[in-house]
């Protein structure tokens, strides 16, 4: 029979494994999604308005894209932009095909040179990460800055770091992975 300390340790370890597996499953469920940030939100916006705006933005990446490429679009809840709040609530886009989603994500840099109706609009595309992955990404970004590493990116829900162009890629899956980087 195990003593209560050992038993608690085993249970804690099992709980951490299950929590990690659940997070990976949630991330896998989001594999066809992208988040779009920076699209203005007018009063009385409808889902049809959001879909039209998203399509206008995505056509700056791929002119052949149509509504048939998109399964569903919705804006996340958040406060509309004000003088104090400089951000618009993000938009989640779920694509019919993962190939389309991957193409849009890999070509997102085209938005940097795209022209929008308003010159101060900055639209960018991110992967739709779980809150746990977003937190880990923020920690990895801080570590990258602290160590003066050059590259941090996500790909298919995985967080990757690289010190310089020719260095090996390090995949970050847990906070422990961050602690090992020097």
pLDDT, tens digit, 9 for 90 and up, residues 104-151: 999 999 988 887 777 667 899 999 999 999 999 999 999 999 999 999
Give the pairing of strands 170-172 and 158-162.
antiparallel
pLDDT at 83: 53
**Is there a single domain that holds both residue 71 and residue 158?**
no
pLDDT at 41: 87
**Is there a single domain that holds both residue 8 and residue 67?**
no
CATH code where residue 86 lies: 3.30.70.330
Contact by Cβ (8 Å): 34, 93: yes
pLDDT at 2: 63
pLDDT at 81: 62
Structural domains of the chain, count: 3
Q: Which domain holds residue 47?
A: 31-127
**Is there a single domain that holds both residue 65 and residue 109?**
yes
pTM as predicted: 0.84
Q: Which of 161, 138, 157 is nearest to 148 (CA)?
A: 161
Per-residue CA distances from 24 to 105, 123, 125 (Å): 20, 28, 21
Percent of the chain with pLDDT over 70: 93
């Amino acid at each position: 029979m195990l003593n209560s300390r050992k038993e608690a340790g085993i249970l804690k370890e099992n709980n951490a494994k299950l929590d990690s597996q659940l997070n990976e499953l949630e991330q896998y469920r989001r594999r066809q999604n992208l988040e779009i940030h920076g699209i203005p939100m007018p009063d009385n916006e409808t889902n049809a308005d959001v879909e039209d705006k998203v399509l206008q933005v995505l056509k700056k990446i791929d002119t052949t894209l149509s509504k048939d490429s998109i399964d569903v679009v919705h804006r996340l809840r958040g406060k509309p932009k004000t003088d104090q709040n400089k951000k618009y609530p993000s938009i989640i886009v779920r694509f019919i095909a993962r190939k389309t989603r991957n193409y849009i994500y890999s070509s997102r840099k085209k938005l940097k040179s795209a022209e929008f109706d308003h010159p101060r609009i900055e639209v960018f595309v991110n992967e739709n990460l779980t809150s746990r992955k977003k937190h880990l990404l923020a920690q990895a970004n801080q570590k990258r800055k602290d160590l003066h590493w050059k590259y941090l990116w996500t790909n298919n829900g995985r967080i990757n770091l690289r010190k310089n162009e020719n260095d090996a890629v390090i995949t970050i899956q847990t906070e422990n992975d961050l602690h090992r980087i020097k």
